[in-house]
Structure 1
Amino acid sequence: RRGQDGYQSKAFFDSGGGGFGQACQCPQFRSQGVLVEHVPCHYWRISVVCGARELLFLRHAKSDWRVAGSDFERPLSKRGRRDAPRVGRWLHRQGLRPDLVISSPALRARQTALDVCKAFGIGENRIGWEARVYDASLQTLWRVLTECNRRADRVLLVGHNPGLALLLAHLCPTLELPPDGKVLPTATLARIRVPADWGTLESGSGVLLSLTRPAAMDTDPE
């Protein structure tokens, strides 16, 4: 049986004759990303214990190259300001609220993260502005992920290419390139299922669930 998001794993307690009762969450298992199903019975037996979490990789929305200034201070373009909220609305419709949001502090990524998080009422002070994500290598992004709070079951990472695309390929090596050869164009969201413990991520341990570009987000069924 799957959890509310379709991918949340569970530990089921069963008995010889009892049916499933009301679901509850045991803190001991919940801290490991495992939802526990409670069954009223004379004895309990754990039949399945396994965990899974999700990563949401979001490349910042399209930026405006016409604005003078440093790369770090480059803002979103008109198209980017339209696409970023679109991503947030799509995530909200899909029921994919992040437990933890980590973003590059570069202006274009910052604006993207803020616009996305508005859909969930997540304020600026609840976003982790991680300087290492800006212009980060694969190794640096990997370290950022392994340091995630273990209580977070779904993490949204807002960043830049080529780092995000390299990280996606490292987690999901069987990823097939889209027809145009672009894995993560601006404002594109990758949804990945990963093992339960952030600290034990391994190359190839991810399962790509979806790769969605902003143009498809208004047409996807709710």
Structure 2
Amino acid sequence: MKTLILVRHGKSSWDYEVSDKDRPLKERGINDGHLVSTAFKNNDIKIDFAFSSPANRAFHTSMIFLRNITFDFNKYQVQEALYDFSGGSVQEFVKNLDNTMDTVIIFGHNHAFTSLANTWGDQYIDNVPTTGLVQIKFDVSKWDELTKGTTEQTIFPKYLK
């Protein structure tokens, strides 16, 4: 069994003249990161490895989230392939994961995450919102065998407020 957890970055700010990769989180994005990670922590799921897009908003979201669930940062990497909006690069990245890892969490971007949640999960999601979490379980032993899985849970900030 393989489990993939997709977390879209928190709400970002457009208040600064910086590149897309450097856009920071808004206060709402920070607060939602705490809210979603606290709700997720209650599930007590063992994560083997965490990956983040190098974009500031995704990286910052991952730091908030992983600290709140007391994650071991020796099992964390920033990956350029996750700075993807279509989903193709993320899909290729996931299919090439080390098969010794059973549960992986990825922090990244839309439209990629909504597209992959609908491609791989069994519940249609119109849009994964900022700081939205989608957890999908697959009945396979290798990441490159992923096809359709079961959407086990979604945690969206608006339902926690």
Q: TM-score, normalised by structure 1?
A: 0.67
Alpha-carbon offset, residue 162 of structure 1:
0.6
Aligned 8 A contact 2:40 2:155 in 1: no
After superposing the two structures, state which structure 1 stretch, 67-76 or 138-147, moved more: 138-147
Superposed CA offset, 1:195-221 (max 9, x none):
22112112xx21111222023346xxx
1:176 aligned onto 2:124: yes
Aligned 8 A contact 1:56 1:189 in 2: yes
State the alpha-carbon separation in 1 of the partners of residues 36 and 16 from structure 2: 24
Alpha-carbon offset, residue 126 of structure 1:
3.3
State the alpha-carbon separation in 1 of the partners of residues 95 and 12 from structure 2: 29
Does the residue aligned with 1:72 lie in a helix, a strand or coil?
Answer: helix
Structure with the bigger RCO (C-alpha within 8 Å, sep 6+) is 2
The total of aligned residue pairs comes to 160
Alpha-carbon offset, residue 147 of structure 1:
1.6
Where structure 1 has 5 or more consecutive residues not aligned to the other structure, the ranges are 1-51
State the alpha-carbon separation in 2 of the partners of residues 60 and 97 from structure 1: 21
Q: TM-score, normalised by structure 2?
A: 0.90
State the alpha-carbon separation in 2 of the partners of residues 215 and 163 from structure 1: 21
Equivalences for 1:113-132 in 2 at 5 Å?
A: 113-122=62-71, 124=73, 126-132=75-81
State the alpha-carbon separation in 2 of the partners of residues 187 and 92 from structure 1: 15
More helix by share: 2
Equivalences for 1:1-222 in 2 at 5 Å?
A: 52-122=1-71, 124=73, 126-172=75-121, 174-177=122-125, 182-194=126-138, 195-202=140-147, 205-217=148-160
Aligned 8 A contact 1:104 1:129 in 2: yes
Overall identity of the aligned pairs, in %: 26
What letter is aligned with 2:16? V
